[in-house]
Amino acid sequence: MLDRDVHAYYDRGGERTRLDGTLELLRTKVLLDRLLPAPPAAVLDVGGAFGVYASWLAERGHQVKIVDPVPLHVESARADGIAAEQGDARHLAEADGSWDAVLLLGPLYHLLDRADRIRALAEARRVVRPGGVVLGATISRWASMYEVLFNGMADVLGFTDMVGADLETGTRRDTVDLADGFTTVYFHRPDELPGEVADAGLCLDGLYAVEGMAHWMPGLAARLSDPDGRALVLELTARTEREPSTLGATAHVLVAAHR
């Protein structure tokens, strides 16, 4: 069952535009393009929200279906012509080995218990074909700390204590009504991911820093709006995407595995 706090957050509809123009979107597309099977492939986008990635993948020739727990997301995706069903990453209503690839670009954020995260990864393993790819996005343990420091939020009432708890426990709860806050979320340490992948029965292919340190650069939006600046940022970020020390400094870590 979806956490009520998470449901309330996503019912606001912010996921429709949150990624617009961001390095997270650009870099995730780069990684998907490289790590997914060549089109046409059958891709199950679990937690795919309004279909930002699903629509892009469909344009590239993939067969894509969204599974998402939020009715607003499912209804909107269907209205945009994307196959979508309401469902839970931990209990997928899909046949064994029926997909070439499974995306978990959101569910692992909001499953606070390790057992639930492993269950979601194990379900992805079950429904992907032998040799098929599973890609999951996670938020770095230190992302909230960097966000507070670099975005001038250290003096916002409640943020310092909240970030201290984020760092200590990796979990955040009941913050949906906090101004500029997120929602119930788990912040991964990169060194936790290999064990979770292995316990789900998957074979780890690698961990990738999605944005790297570039996410915290002053004036990043302006650089990304310029074609030459965008190309430079993407090139330099790609050069350090597998550097272990960068995995703790990025906002998001993508875990790549296969069955």
pLDDT of residue 22: 96
pTM: 0.94
| Residue spans per domain, the chain | 4-140+187-258
Positions of the chain with pLDDT under 50 = none
135/31 Cα distance (integer angstroms) = 10
pLDDT of residue 14: 86
pLDDT of residue 153: 67
CATH of domain 4-140+187-258: 3.40.50.150
pLDDT of residue 6: 85
Query: What separation in angstroms does the CA of 235 have from each of 30, 134, 170?
Result: 11, 24, 31
pLDDT of residue 175: 65
> How far is C-alpha 212 from the geometric centre of its chain's CA atoms?
14
pLDDT of residue 145: 85
> Cβ-count burial of 131 within 10 angstroms (0-12 exposed, 13-18 middle, 19+ buried)?
exposed
Query: What separation in angstroms does the CA of 178 have from each of 13, 157, 188, 191?
Result: 17, 10, 22, 30
Structure tokens that stand for 80 in this block: 């945009």
143/193 Cα distance (integer angstroms) = 16
- Cis previous bond, 218, omega within 30: no
**How wide is the angle at C-alpha 191 spanned by C-alphas 185 and 192, nearest 5°?**
50
